[in-house]
Structure 1
Amino acid sequence: MYPLKFENIYFDKIWGGRDLELFRSNLPEGDIGESWDVACHPHGTSVVANGEYKGMKLDELIKKVGSEIIGTSISKEWFPLLVKLINAKDKLSVQVHPDDRYGMQAEGEMGKTEAWYVVEAFEGANLVVGTKDCTREQFKKAIETGEFDELMNQIPVQKGDVYFVKSGLVHAIGEGVIIAEIQQNSDTTYRVYDYNRGRELHIDKALDVVNLSLRGEKSRGLLVQRNGFSKTYYCLCEHFALELYEVTESFKECSDNERFYIFTVVEGAGEIISNGNKESIRKGDSILIPASLGEYEIKGVVKLLKSFVPNMEKSKQEILSEVVTE
């Protein structure tokens, strides 16, 4: 096996734009709102862009090699993660996602918990994460009147900010940002308000799943310095872990037979070296590290997000050991 790159899957959105052209040259025409970069979903499945398996769909590759790519602890029946880049030139709808139980009952797929990393923040960049001490009655009235602004916890953001968006949290991506979104493999969104743009709303389902007690706060993370790189632990939940590597020279790691890793480049450029294979990487790329890869090295001046489905106990022990060491 080798590190896998994939073709970008682009989606035209009414709130999208052309800002991904800052670091990509393959955008189709239109207002591009989303690029699905590692995906295995009925609405979009990645196609391998490099090496021996070039041209093969990710679901087909999983059927062919199974745990060699996804790991022994990951179900072959449902790929667990979806990695996107989102370009919002205009604000997205006010929305909420269900948890797994509701998602399976109502939609036949998992719920959606996600994390956002701000790749670019332009003038006026903002996100909405949660509400300002909003009661259920106030929320229902806002749905009826469309007067959400006073209730929403709108936060100005800058490049490098990270937010954890748990299922049930009311949220919206504001205008003026490029976001790297790491999420459960689900495409279920319940729109509460859409600024009179004529798209379908899902008010009853949204009211079923919304949790107004949830608060959205910027993730501070735990920073650990190493020779040639630093690592920040940002998010850890049963669905995924999210870490940021800031590489100034290089680092070496080994794959995990139980799970795959995904690296998403959010700044700079470099290369991944493994088993005699060398793959260049640059801003905007996402690369899947197969579970059976073995040792690999990443070189360059580059920032990468690492996402994976964790062994919770193992990850907690790793973070705890870093706290003790520090």
Structure 2
Amino acid sequence: MYPLKFEHIYVNKVWGGRNLSTFREDLPSGEIGESWEIACHKDVISIIANGKYKGMKLDELILKEREDILGTEISKEHFPLLIKFLDAQSKLSIQVHPNDFYAIENENDLGKTEAWVVLEAEENANMILGIKDCSPEGFREALEKGNLEPCLHRISVKKGDVYFIQSGLIHTMEGVLVAEIQQNSDTTYRVYDYNRGRELHIKKAMDVMDFSLHARKASGLCTQGEGYEKTYYCYDHNFSLEKYKIESSCIEKSDKERFYIFICIDGEGLIRYSNGIEEIRKGDTLFIPAGLGTYTLDGNFTLLKAYVPNIKKLEKEILGEIKYLSDCYEAHL
């Protein structure tokens, strides 16, 4: 087994732009809003771009190798994650995603919780993340009058910001290039779309909106290793999001229970494993199979790491890091 790369799947969007061309040479013409990096969805399946399995669809490889790819604890019935880059040069629709229960019952799909990592931000970059001082009745009235702005929690954002967006949280963004880590779902309910003529889903959106939710910027827990820095940002049962800043090298080991995904957001380097070497540079997304074994991250680059966690194991790991940091602090007093 080896680290897998995939062909880029580009999607034109009315709100898209050309910013992906800063690290991509294969960008097609048009206003590109999304690049689907790893997908195994009912509508879109990634195709492997490197190595022995080049040209094979991801779902076919899962059927062939099963636990060596996904791991023993990841369901073979529904691939859990979807990884994208989004280039939101103008406003996305004001939108919300359902939870699993509602989505399964109404869309035959999973719900959608996601995280956004801001890779680039224009001077006026902003996001709407939640409702402020507005009841469901007041929100509907404001929507009917075309005056939603007073109801929306709008914030300025900058490069490096990380936000965890739960299902039920109303949101949008503008003027940013982001990496998006999410549940494997493409279900979105638009509340307002700036009169661009696309379908709205107001009843379903009102069904699933949680007026108590607000997303806060994730500060993360930063730990130091020899030759690298690691930050734990956010996690729940859907996925964990971490960041590695590799300064020289970092030795890692795959988990037989689950796969990992690495997204390179800066720099370049190598992944060395028992049977070879794989290059990685800004804009690359790699799938680390559960059966890969020990590997080394060499170079000067920054990676996001996404995976479906064992919550108890992850919390034990984080508590161990907190104790280590506390011990180090006391030793320097």
Q: Shift of the alpha carbon at 1:145? A: 2.0
Q: CA RMSD in A?
A: 0.8
SS state at 1:5 partner: coil
Q: Shift of the alpha carbon at 1:133? A: 2.7
Distance in 2, matches of 1:219 and 1:111, equals: 22
Q: Shift of the alpha carbon at 1:138? A: 1.7
Question: Does residue 16 of structure 2 align to residue 16 of structure 1?
Answer: yes
Question: Does residue 249 of structure 2 align to residue 250 of structure 1?
Answer: yes
- Residue equivalent to 1:302: 301
Deviation readout 1:129-168 (Å, 9 max, x if unpaired): 1122321122111221222222211111111100000000
Q: Shift of the alpha carbon at 1:280? A: 0.7
TM-score w.r.t. length of structure 2: 0.96
Q: Counterpart amino acid of 2:108?
A: G
SS state at 1:50 partner: coil
Q: Counterpart amino acid of 1:20?
A: L
8 Å contact kept, 1:146–1:193:
no
TM-score w.r.t. length of structure 1: 0.98
SS state at 2:301 partner: strand
Matches within 5 A, 1:93-112: 93-112=93-112
- Residue equivalent to 2:80: 80
Q: Counterpart amino acid of 2:294?
A: E
Distance in 2, matches of 1:137 and 1:196, equals: 22
Misfit runs of 4+, over 6 Å = none
Question: Does residue 128 of structure 2 align to residue 123 of structure 1?
Answer: no
- Residue equivalent to 2:259: 260
SS state at 1:105 partner: helix
Deviation readout 1:54-83 (Å, 9 max, x if unpaired): 000001110110011010101111100000
Matches within 5 A, 1:138-287: 138-174=138-174, 176-287=175-286
Q: Counterpart amino acid of 1:248?
A: E
SS state at 1:313 partner: helix
Name the % identity: 56
Q: Shift of the alpha carbon at 1:275? A: 1.1
Task: Name whichever of 118-127 and 74-83 sits farther off.
Answer: 118-127
Distance in 1, matches of 2:197 and 2:240, equals: 36
Question: Does residue 129 of structure 2 align to residue 134 of structure 1?
Answer: no
Q: Shift of the alpha carbon at 1:183? A: 0.1
Q: Shift of the alpha carbon at 1:33? A: 0.2
Structure 1: runs of 5 or more not aligned: none
The number of equivalent residue pairs is 325
SS state at 1:215 partner: coil
